[in-house]
Structure 1
Amino acid sequence: MTRPAARGGSRASADRLARLLNLVPYLLARPGIEIAEAAGDLGVTERQLREDLELLWVCGLPGYGPGDLIDMAFDGDRVTITYDAGIDRPLRLTPDEALALVVALRMLAETPGVANRDAVERALAKIENAAGDLVGAPVAVQLPGDTERVRELRDAVQRGRALRITYYTAARDESTERIIDPLRMLSVSGRAYVEAWCRRAEAVRLFRADRIDAFTELDEAAVVPSRARPADLTDGVFRPAPDLPLITLRIGRGERWITEYYPCERVEPGDGDRWLVSLRVTDLGWARRFVLGLGPDVTVVAPAELADQVRAQAVAALDAYASALPPGAAAVADPAGSWAGR
């Protein structure tokens, strides 16, 4: 079996929904507008606009009879909305609907990386003002992983200053100090990141907020080179490149979660209930610590270098354990081969 390719279509659907919601008030304000002119204003082709108009014809109020649906008239290449199905009526929210919108907007305002936070806060203020006491109950919104450190980093990024950070790199198991010029804050899979130009690496890097051990806001403005580009995180933070090391593991039933948590290039059934899993890693040092942390139900199949590293560290750990045993105590059998194969 293989892992599915990147998901597609959801972004296009969201864009079309936004366009349809904007289309009716746009046409209401411009009766008799030429389709070509409307397509140009809306940034779509004439064909796409005609497809949107055909979809609008089957949209409307519950009941969805002829008198409930949006209707329009065509005069050659001109279009006029003749019935808008009440889309221009003032929106009236129930208390539950108003409260749900307030909670959603507060959560959106707290999400790192929101492109136009001012627009979110303006919309929130309008709804709270219109709803009045309907949403007067105190509501506290906190995203997963939204710690005090994340809030401090978000404020620092918004001030547009360069930061000196002490950062722990899990792949190399080391902490380094570097100066970064932040681009934005992001939230991916429940974790907060600072995306920034790293002066040490001379490239754009993602820094996990919970791995920034310390940071200092400098007295200089963040200066991001014109060649720097934000990362495409559509498929997640880690996007394995073909030049990264490829490792193959034989895993038992209890370790199959690996195939859901990490991007795997190949997953195949093996002997019994075991699977053969191949995935790319940033380096073999990280892979060694990863395999040792999984336990004895995992065997390194390839590369041989990783198997040797795992075996050597497992044996060293067992030797250290044996030397710490009291006189006369029996050491456990050597399980190093369970990780590395023999």
Structure 2
Amino acid sequence: MAKWDNMLSMLWMLRSGRKLTAAQIADNLEISVRTVYRYIDALCASGVPVVAESGHEGGIRILGNFKETPLFFNSVELKALMDAFKFAQGAGYPYTEELESALKKVENGLHEEQRHDLSLQMSGLDVISPVRPPSAVLLLKELEQAAKDGRTLHIAYRKVNAELASERDIDPYGLVYDRNEWYAVAFCRRSQAVRTFRVDRIARLELTEARFEKPERFSASVYFRDQSERRREADGPLTVIRIEGEPGTLNAVCGHWHLRHYLTERTDREARFLLDVPTMNKYLPMYLMTFGTAIRIREPLELKRQIREMAYGVAKHYEDGPD
């Protein structure tokens, strides 16, 4: 066990309030008595009031006025905190500056040996951050604050493939992070229903004077998950969709935020989905065509036909001819 882990274990033993001899501590931690006294000196230097009383009724104890501080993390716990910061930063978490400041305070309370040990462990993990505009951080903060305060927002929202943004008032219930994207779950006053809005598609956001109360026990994450799993275009007959491809390409197909919920079987070279026909017809031909020749649709024949016709139309569009 590392030195600082041993010291932390010794601290927890002494916090029980009992007096312990150096021999008892050494036996419990499987270290020498001499090492125990070195650890006592190090704890005292850290501000922990450890006292060693001699005599028949003596022993090692901590003074009763000692209060635990958050600086007493073991090396793995410190690494976990720093790694969590990397993930938060990669996700575009809007309070990374404040989180970094808090971690700096923790780091400043460490001994030189702890800092060195932490720097060695920190070199093994990195998180690649997607490129996000600075405005995204401001949007997330404003959405979260409005959800907390119960304030209605007026937004300009740009749907995918739409040329113009549409205006609407929303009551934000919460934020959800899923597969590198942030979503606001909100009650849309225009449609009079709860909707999900991708934050990067909010072109403009303004605070209004209107207020709202979030439904009791409403969970944005539960709503988002339920909608992702159940959303379909219409009730209709189900069909088996069988797709072949390389493992990496199939991972991308199966990882699609919506399609993944209909996956029924997966091997290294094939994936099977069970999906209703209206949803298949509306979304899958365009999406699957983006994979080109990296995948092959085995069934149903109708989906193969739609993709073939769509590909032919694109090829026809780019045939040589007058500009």
- Normalised by the length of structure 2, the TM-score is 0.52
Aligned-partner SS, 2:317 = helix
What are the superposed Cα offsets for residues 271-317 of structure 1, whole Å, 9 maximum, x if unpaired?
xx96352254856322121122121342262272x444333322322
Counting aligned pairs with the same residue, the percent is 21
Note closer, same or farther for the CA distance 1:247–1:179 as it changes in structure 2 (3 Å cut).
farther
Equivalent residue, structure 1, for 2:204? 215
Contact 1:167 1:211 in 2 (8 A): yes
- Please tell me whether residue 290 in structure 1 is matched to residue 287 in structure 2: yes
Contact 2:90 2:130 in 1 (8 A): no
Equivalent residue, structure 2, for 1:127? 106
Q: How does 1:192-341 map to 2 (within 5 A)?
A: 192-212=182-202, 214-224=203-213, 226=215, 229-232=219-222, 238-240=228-230, 243=235, 246=239, 248-253=241-246, 255-258=249-252, 260-262=254-256, 263=260, 264-267=262-265, 275=270, 277-280=272-275, 284-296=281-293, 297-299=295-297, 301-302=299-300, 304=302, 306-322=303-319, 324-325=320-321
Equivalent residue, structure 2, for 1:166? 157
What are the superposed Cα offsets for residues 138-180 of structure 1, whole Å, 9 maximum, x if unpaired?
xxx995455313212122214424131222247x999644332
Q: Identify the structure with bigger relative contact order (alpha carbons < 8 Å, sequence gap 6+).
A: 1
Contact 2:139 2:205 in 1 (8 A): no
How many residue pairs match? The answer is 243
Question: What amino acid maps onto 2:287 in structure 1?
Answer: F
**Which residue of the other structure, out of 147, 150, 167, is the alignment partner of 2:133?**
147
Contact 2:156 2:165 in 1 (8 A): no
- Please tell me whether residue 183 in structure 1 is matched to residue 173 in structure 2: yes
- Normalised by the length of structure 1, the TM-score is 0.50
Question: How many angstroms apart in 2 are the aligned matches of 1:268 and 1:142?
Answer: 28
Aligned-partner SS, 2:221 = coil
Note closer, same or farther for the CA distance 1:198–1:129 as it changes in structure 2 (3 Å cut).
farther
Contact 2:159 2:201 in 1 (8 A): yes
What is the deviation of 1:268?
5.9
Unaligned runs of 5+ in 1: 1-23, 30-60, 69-82, 136-140, 327-342
Contact 1:178 1:199 in 2 (8 A): yes
Note closer, same or farther for the CA distance 1:145–1:209 as it changes in structure 2 (3 Å cut).
farther
What is the deviation of 1:217?
0.8
What are the superposed Cα offsets for residues 66-116 of structure 1, whole Å, 9 maximum, x if unpaired?
xx9xxxxxxxxxxxxxx99999765446999879856756975996789x9
